[in-house]
Structure 1
Amino acid sequence: MYAWFFHFLPGPTWLRWLLVLALVAGVVVVLMEFVYPWIAEFGFFSDATLDVE
């Protein structure tokens, strides 16, 4: 799958790597800014497991 995606990117190899890095960075930003905070509202991720006295 990744080879297919890499094959259809335009330009020489160095430009393809820059495009892949930019696309991965964009996906990470979208996930961190929008998806993960939305999922955290429905989960138990922020619940404390220790009772601090």
Structure 2
Amino acid sequence: MYGWIWRHLPGNAWVKALISLALVLAAVYVLFQYVFPWAEPLLPFNDVTVDNQ
């Protein structure tokens, strides 16, 4: 998959590296701004099963 993306990006190695970095940063931004806040109420992180002993 990564090889396919690398081969289809335009430019030389430096341009491909910059575009790849921009794509990774865009993916991280979308995850933190939209996906994780949407999924957070659905995840059981606040369901604690430890008793006070």
- Which TM-score tier does this pair reach, normalised by the shorter chain? 0.7 to 0.9
Give aligned pairs, total.
51
TM-score (norm 2): 0.82
Partner of 2:16: 16
Unpaired runs of 5+ residues, structure 2, are none
Unpaired runs of 5+ residues, structure 1, are none
State the identity %: 39
Q: CA RMSD in A?
A: 1.6
TM-score (norm 1): 0.82
Partner of 2:5: 5
Runs of 4+ in 1 over 6 A off after TM superposition: none
